[in-house]
Structure 1
Amino acid sequence: MDFLEIQFALRGKTLPADHGYALYSAVKKSLQAVEDASMPKDLPDDLHLCTISGIPDHAGMIYLNQSSSLRLRCPADQVQTWYRFLQNQVLDIRGHLIRLIQPRITLPEASDTLKSRLVTFKLKEIDHAEVPRYFLQSCQNGLDRLGLKGQVFIPSDPDGDLARRTLQIKDKKVLGFSVVVEGLSNEDSLILQWHGLGGRKHFGCGWFYPLKEDAYAA
């Protein structure tokens, strides 16, 4: 588990608030336009994208600011490939243009408490009253499969409701929740940041970060 994070500053003004799938699609389109046969035509499984933070207008848009960045995690031996490919790329995200500039490489930081803005699972249970229980059990099962020890819970939004989230994928809305995991050892914290929980990691889901970053998270 030798991975690094690349962070790109952005030039741009606005993005759709729900842009995880559109961001993935824009990066994939850029890959498919490259003639270099050594480059993949889709994002590999071991490359994880984070959605971009901004100031919400509460009408489905965010305004980019100095804290806004595109973040990705990949194996250390792939860093130069993605650093060079994405630097100065212009991505069209549902009609909103952003340029990726000033990349920097960072080491993951261990923390006993991690948070993810959105985690999703394919839940068979459709009784909405029972969804949080099944969802938390799926999170716990995910931790168990990774051999991690930690306490998982769904936090509340500022209005006191459970932090329920949705992800738009084409014409489908996927239900998920924000997740916090406490009581992690340093090693377990890094493992969770690499593997995440749930699916759809190319769309920004299951991306965990230290809780102190919460003010800057998407």
Structure 2
Amino acid sequence: MSIYWREDEEQEEFVVPEDVLDVAFDMRCRALPVDHADALYQAICEALPWFDAVEAAGLHLIHGAESGNGWERPEDSDELLYLSRRTKLTLRLPREQVEEAEALTGQTLRVAGYDMTLGKPTRRPLSTHSALYSRHVVSDPAEDEEAFLQRSVEELKAIGVRFKKILCGKMHVFRTTDGEVITRSLFVADLSREDAVRLQEQGVGPGRKRGFGVFIPHKTVTKK
């Protein structure tokens, strides 16, 4: 039996650009409140005074384990996340700022009343996964799911991201120094490698410095 098999040359030759990278720090921190977005943002800005002014900079909120040994991650904003040694603090940064950020190694940040000591950093390129999601994309308080989804579609189109599937999910409320922020989760699928990288570089909506609109791979969907 003879078989002719040709892979998509464009996909095969794609090289992930390193204009934006994730920098993941080992960390020791006993616990954080579920709603730590503002506190973590303030601590990072204190340690890295340039962070707030860098447009492409963002951070990943810390989520801990979703479940394990019968334990489920709490959802109430005042509850605590108890963190393991495997937990990372991850910043998403333009390449030009990465080395400056790595100076955080060995420093202890004070986040919502808890000490967070940062260890060795690891640089990670952005993912080419075909399905990405953000746990928290900022939503207008007056928006229902349909209006949020439609606005998200328009924002994705505006930054040139092509996709075939999009879903919104859980709503959360955060307290910040700028007032209450409502977010919804957003799942985007059937992305090309280029569009996956673009979505991670650009994000959706405001608040990247507090971890909003930052996309990561959705692990339950097979990678292209």
Paired residue for 1:47? 57
User: TM-score if structure 2 supplies the norm length?
Assistant: 0.80
Query: What SS is found at the alignment partner of 1:82?
Result: helix
After TM superposition, the structure 1 = structure 2 runs for residues 1-218 of structure 1, keeping only pairs within 5 Å, are 2-32=19-49, 40=50, 42-55=52-65, 56-57=73-74, 60-84=79-103, 86-121=104-139, 123=140, 126=142, 131-150=144-163, 151-155=165-169, 163-170=170-177, 172-212=179-219
Q: Which amino acid aligns with 1:178?
A: S
Paired residue for 2:70? none
* C-alpha distance in 2 between matches for 1:68 and 1:41: 22
- 1:164-203 superposed Cα distances (whole Å, 9 cap, x missing partner): 1122113732111111001111000000011110111100
What displacement does 1:14 show?
0.2
Q: Which amino acid aligns with 1:184?
A: L
- 1:72-92 superposed Cα distances (whole Å, 9 cap, x missing partner): 1111222111112x2122111
- 1:41-76 superposed Cα distances (whole Å, 9 cap, x missing partner): 745222111111224345521011133111111112
* C-alpha distance in 2 between matches for 1:116 and 1:63: 22
C-alpha RMSD of matched pairs (Å): 2.1
Q: Percent identity?
A: 30
* C-alpha distance in 1 between matches for 2:40 and 2:126: 22
* C-alpha distance in 2 between matches for 1:171 and 1:141: 26
* C-alpha distance in 1 between matches for 2:200 and 2:220: 13
User: TM-score if structure 1 supplies the norm length?
Assistant: 0.82
Aligned residues: 194
* Gapped regions of structure 2 (runs ≥ 5): 1-16, 66-72
Greater shift, 166-175 or 133-142, is seen at: 166-175
Query: What SS is found at the alignment partner of 1:212?
Result: coil
* C-alpha distance in 2 between matches for 1:198 and 1:92: 27
Distance 1:57 1:178, change over 3 A: closer
Distance 1:63 1:41, change over 3 A: closer
* C-alpha distance in 1 between matches for 2:220 and 2:89: 14
Query: What SS is found at the alignment partner of 2:161?
Result: coil
Distance 1:213 1:170, change over 3 A: farther
* Gapped regions of structure 1 (runs ≥ 5): 33-39, 156-162
- 1:145-172 superposed Cα distances (whole Å, 9 cap, x missing partner): 11111122113xxxxxxx1112211373
